[in-house]
Amino acid sequence: MGAQWKAKGKELAANAKGKVFGKLAKEIMVAARSGADPALNARLRLVVEQARKVSMPKDTLERAIKKGAGLTGEAVHFEHVIYEGFAPHRVPVMVECLTDNLNRTAPEMRVLFRKGQLGTSGSVAWDFDHVGMIEAEPAAPGADPELAAIEAGAQDFEAGEEEGSTLFITDATDLDIVSRALPAQGFTVLSAKLGYKPKNPVDPATLGAAELEEVEAFLAAIDANDDVQTIYAGLGN
C-alpha cells in the first residue's frame, strides 16, 4: 500500500469534495510562499495540477495562490506537523497535518488517538520510507508501466487508487524529475506528492472483520479532523 489511506467511498460524498478542496487550498498556500508562478515553483505546479484534476474552481485556486504568496495582505501561516502512533491492533500510522494553531491540533490528536496509541517522534517513522508518489494513467493504449518506470527513473510501481492508474514510487528528491518524464512515456500524471510507504504493512487477512472495522473507524475519525492533510497507515491491500 504505497498511497495514503482513503476512506471507502469517501470521494462519492458531496461534502468530501469540499474537504478535498480545503486540503488542497492549504497545500497551495504553503507552496506559494516560494513564489506565485507555477512555472518557476515546482512544488506549487504539482499541487496546482492536482487541484485542476479534481476540478477545483479557478477563483478558489487563484485566491489560494495569492493568499499564500502574500499578495492579498493577509497573514497566512500553516505549520507542518506529523503525529505518529498506532491504530487499534498495532497498525502503524503517520498523520500529516497543516495547522495554523498547534495549541488546538495537539490536544485534538491526543483525544483521537485514545482508541489507539499516540507515539513520540520517530516511534513508527522508522517503519516507513519517505518517498515520492506519482499517480498516473495511460495516455494511450499499450503504455507499459514497467518500461515507463525504468525510463522515467522511478524506483517501483504498483496499482494506483484510480481504476486503471499506476502509482510510481520515486526517491523523495526525484519526484519532480520523474513526474516531468512520465508524459513522454505515455502516462498522464494525476497527482504527485511526497509521502510515506510502509516497509512492513499489516496484512488485513490477519485481522478479523470486527478488528479491521475498528481500524477503519479509527482512521476515518482522524481523517475527519480539519487539520489533517494525509494519513499513511501500515495496512496492506
What pLDDT shows up at residue 29?
93
Average pLDDT score, the chain: 88
pLDDT class for 190, splitting at 50, 70, 90? Answer: confident
Q: Are 229 and 26 in contact (CB under 8 A)?
A: yes
How confident is the model at residue 53, as a pLDDT? Answer: 81
Q: Which strands, in side-by-side order, build the sheet including 117-118? A: 117-118, 79-87, 91-99, 228-233
Summarised one tens digit per residue, pLDDT across range 14-24 is: 456 778 888 89
* pTM: predicted TM-score of the whole model, two decimal places: 0.82
Q: pLDDT tens digit string along 126-157?
A: 999 999 999 999 998 888 999 999 999 999 99
Given this model, what pLDDT does residue 1 score? 45
In Å, how far are 22, 89, 203 from 211, measured between CA atoms? Answer: 31, 7, 12
Q: Which of 116, 114, 59 is nearest to 92 (CA)?
A: 116
Taking alpha carbons only, the member of 203, 193, 188 closest to residue 234 is 203
| pLDDT of 94 above 90 | yes
Domains of the chain from N-terminus onward: 10-68 (1.10.10.200), 79-119+201-233 (3.30.70.980), 127-198 (3.30.70.980)
Distance CA 107, CA 202 (A): 28
Q: Residue 35: is its pLDDT beyond 60?
A: yes
What is d(CA 3, CA 196) in angstroms, rounded to the nearest whole number?
A: 8
| Element (DSSP H or E) covering residue 87 | strand 79-87
- Confidence band, pLDDT 50/70/90 cuts, at residue 82: very high
Q: Band of the pLDDT at 6, cuts 50, 70, 90?
A: low
Instruction: In whole angstroms, give the CA distance from residue 6 to residue 31.
Output: 23
Question: What pLDDT is recorded for position 4?
Answer: 66
pLDDT tens profile 47-81: 898 888 888 999 999 999 999 998 888 777 888 99
On the 0-12 / 13-18 / 19+ scale of CB atoms within 10 A, 155 is: middle
